[in-house]
Structure 1
Amino acid sequence: MTSMTTNHGQYAVKQAATPGPLAEETLSSQPRGERLTDMFARSISYLRISLTDHCNLRCQYCTPQEGQIKLANEELLRYEEILRVVRLAVSLGIEKVRLTGGEPLVRREVLPFIKALAEIPGLTDIRLTTNGVLLADHAEALQAAGISKLNISLDTLRPERFHQITGVDAFARVWAGITKARELGFSPIKLNIVALKGVNDDEFIDFARMTLTEPLQIRFIEFMPIGGSSLWDKEKYISSQGIMELLKPLGVLAPVEAKRMDGPARIFRLPGAVGSVGFISPISHHFCDRCNRLRLTSEGRLRSCLLSDQETDLRESLRSAASDAEIRELIVAAILNKPKGHTISPDGGGSCHGQMSRIGG
């Protein structure tokens, strides 16, 4: 029924307000309000969901030059299947969901799905990652459906370079989406920049300078070797420390204290800035020891680590009349098999051959 099996009849949960040794509870007796904890005492509270592997851009670091075969509609998890997984995950302690892709806004009927997602009891935080191309058209409806926090991918502030990186002349539409989101009061708004040496490193100061006057979080993400050798070029890799060196003319970066539900970014603030600068450093500064997330791919596979090819096939079980208890057991097994860390390095060590559009950016 699944590509992964487990002999764990029990799993570890930790009382939300009780420190000390891990308690053991049976699957059927899981009380809401406890947090599922993996074998390395990491509390798992965050699920990222790729709604589709389809996208309206063709970014050079994401899409192979020879192209990709996209999933057929029947291969995607149906909305009702995703909702079922989320309900069960929330019953196990998941509090936060992020919708990603591909580009989630290209999937039909996404707004009614988000409304249904927002009605799940216990789910306190629903966020969206988008490339921004369709954001201006959908921002108001997204807000009404229950989205309040946005991540917007934007690797350059120059329209011609945007066209070169993405293959589409859509910078003006993305900027209009960012502007619309600001006007509507989305908060926080995070701009995600994949850092590429020799491609957009001459704009890092321009991005960071925006935080002096705008309440944005500018997040620099290290280029990662995902999707096979055709997408990876170690000559384009620049570490977060290298990015920080380039930002020194703007002043000292003061650390900002992280909150419990925050993601892996290390956050800083420039002197007098109203916004902040973040660094996501999966290669140079592993954050595996505090990883709190699972990923549900667009084809229904559950991954406990972005940079590991280990997956659990939930789609097969969902379509084979598996009970809620069986699906919950598979989610628990994935968490208990969550690796301590990854082995990816800037020299290409380790392996992650999954397509980023299916895994979820």
Structure 2
Amino acid sequence: MAVQFEDSFNRKFYYLRLSITDVCNFRCTYCLPDGYKPTQKNSSFLGLDELHRVVAAFADCGTSKVRITGGEPTLRKDFTDIVSMTAAQKGIEKIAMTTNGYRLEKHAQHWRDAGLTNINVSVDSLDPRMFHEITGENKFHQVMRGIDAAFDAGFEQVKVNAVLLKDLNSGELPAFLNWIKDKPIQLRFIELMQTGEMNSLFENHHVSGVSIRNHLIANGWIMKVRNQSDGPAEVFCHPDYTGEIGLIMPYKKDFCDSCNRLRVSAVGKLHMCLFGDYGVELRDLLQNDAQEKALIGRIQSALASKKQSHFLDQGHTGMTPHLASIGG
């Protein structure tokens, strides 16, 4: 194995978020309210061979978890092939995906058989009307059937992401808690994050996750210990609940101290942070296997410039126009 990817703050990177498309068929209020519009002119998405070389290089440098993201990753016709390729890579132990769930009902078993180990589904409301208002799509029941299909396919736990939005879904905590009482779901409340195109939305709808955190602790929920390849959520469990609660609070002090993930966009750019100022071009080194050493060297060199924090709390949103552009 090559040298473990590590930055100048001694943070090691075990987790790759690999975007395979920036296309999405939902119109979520906090991401693509006007629908998908191409952001990469005259540039195709990475092909299967190129994606394989990304995964291989990261695996050779200690990465054990790959999350396949978008946009909506399952819009790729070769999505199952990408899962299979990733699962076959030595050193990769977890293959996760984040999805809006619209294809999950039909394909959960197929993807599980291909090697997918973990699923995150976005469900921003348990009220079908509010779900429609937030996502722009009347697919609540279809997505919920997809979650049931994931359990039927053998996934032991499904993670469900809900972006907190003041005056929209922020009052649904009791309903969500009731939902996970007897279901092995890790429900993850994500604070709304300010991006370049969403300033007014952020001002109108941002709500801190601290109030939910305080509520959980006051009601007997206990924080779990993080594993080295876990994402940024603070996860809480309760003896009376089968499900868990995860809180992703990017505005919390020291949020970036435990950063263990890097991002590669669907067009082959390495991003140090979701809210970084630039991407590092990798695609020219993804054309044949003989370039892996140079690819690893470029990634290692780029890590020297990774900043200590995203500085979101200071109003810095970087170059990210919306979350779908580099995989959330």
If the length of structure 2 is used for normalisation, what is the TM-score? 0.93
Asked if structure 2 preserves the Cα contact closer than 8 Å seen for 1:205 and 1:246, the reply is: no
Q: How does 1:200-349 map to 2 (within 5 A)?
A: 200-229=169-198, 232-245=201-214, 251-318=219-286, 323-345=291-313, 349=315
Asked if structure 2 preserves the Cα contact closer than 8 Å seen for 1:38 and 1:336, the reply is: yes
* Gapped regions of structure 2 (runs ≥ 5): none
Question: Deviation at 1:333?
Answer: 1.8
Question: Deviation at 1:248?
Answer: 7.5
Asked if structure 2 preserves the Cα contact closer than 8 Å seen for 1:127 and 1:148, the reply is: yes
Q: How does 1:3-42 map to 2 (within 5 A)?
A: 31=1, 35-42=4-11
Matched, 1:193 2:162: yes
Q: For residues 129 and 179 of structure 1, do their structure 2 counterparts lie closer, same or farther at Cα, with a shift above 3 Å needed?
A: same
Q: For residues 275 and 336 of structure 1, do their structure 2 counterparts lie closer, same or farther at Cα, with a shift above 3 Å needed?
A: same
Asked if structure 1 preserves the Cα contact closer than 8 Å seen for 2:161 and 2:187, the reply is: yes
Matched, 1:166 2:135: yes
Q: For residues 72 and 147 of structure 1, do their structure 2 counterparts lie closer, same or farther at Cα, with a shift above 3 Å needed?
A: farther
Asked if structure 2 preserves the Cα contact closer than 8 Å seen for 1:225 and 1:352, the reply is: no
What's 1:153 paired with? 122
What's 2:319 paired with? 353
CA distance in 2, matches of 1:185, 1:238: 35
SS in 2 for 1:212: coil
Which of 17, 21, 28 is the equivalent residue of 1:48?
Answer: 17
* Gapped regions of structure 1 (runs ≥ 5): 1-30
Q: For residues 248 and 200 of structure 1, do their structure 2 counterparts lie closer, same or farther at Cα, with a shift above 3 Å needed?
A: farther
Which is greater in Rg?
1
> What's the CA shift string for 1:142-201, capped at 9, x where partnerless?
000001211111100111111111111111110010011112221331000101111101
Q: For residues 228 and 310 of structure 1, do their structure 2 counterparts lie closer, same or farther at Cα, with a shift above 3 Å needed?
A: same
Matched, 1:62 2:62: no
Question: Deviation at 1:321?
Answer: 9.8
Asked if structure 1 preserves the Cα contact closer than 8 Å seen for 2:162 and 2:189, the reply is: yes
CA RMSD of aligned residues (A): 2.2
Q: For residues 63 and 349 of structure 1, do their structure 2 counterparts lie closer, same or farther at Cα, with a shift above 3 Å needed?
A: same
Share of identical aligned residues, percent?
Answer: 35
> What's the CA shift string for 1:102-143, capped at 9, x where partnerless?
011011111122112211111111111111011111101100
User: Aligned residue pairs: how many?
Assistant: 327
Asked if structure 1 preserves the Cα contact closer than 8 Å seen for 2:164 and 2:192, the reply is: yes
Q: For residues 229 and 130 of structure 1, do their structure 2 counterparts lie closer, same or farther at Cα, with a shift above 3 Å needed?
A: closer
Q: For residues 135 and 72 of structure 1, do their structure 2 counterparts lie closer, same or farther at Cα, with a shift above 3 Å needed?
A: farther
SS in 2 for 1:235: helix
Asked if structure 1 preserves the Cα contact closer than 8 Å seen for 2:27 and 2:34, the reply is: no
SS in 2 for 1:75: coil
Asked if structure 2 preserves the Cα contact closer than 8 Å seen for 1:126 and 1:146, the reply is: yes
> What's the CA shift string for 1:231-289, capped at 9, x where partnerless?
6422311111122356678x222112222222111111234111111100111344211
If the length of structure 1 is used for normalisation, what is the TM-score? 0.84
CA distance in 2, matches of 1:139, 1:321: 32
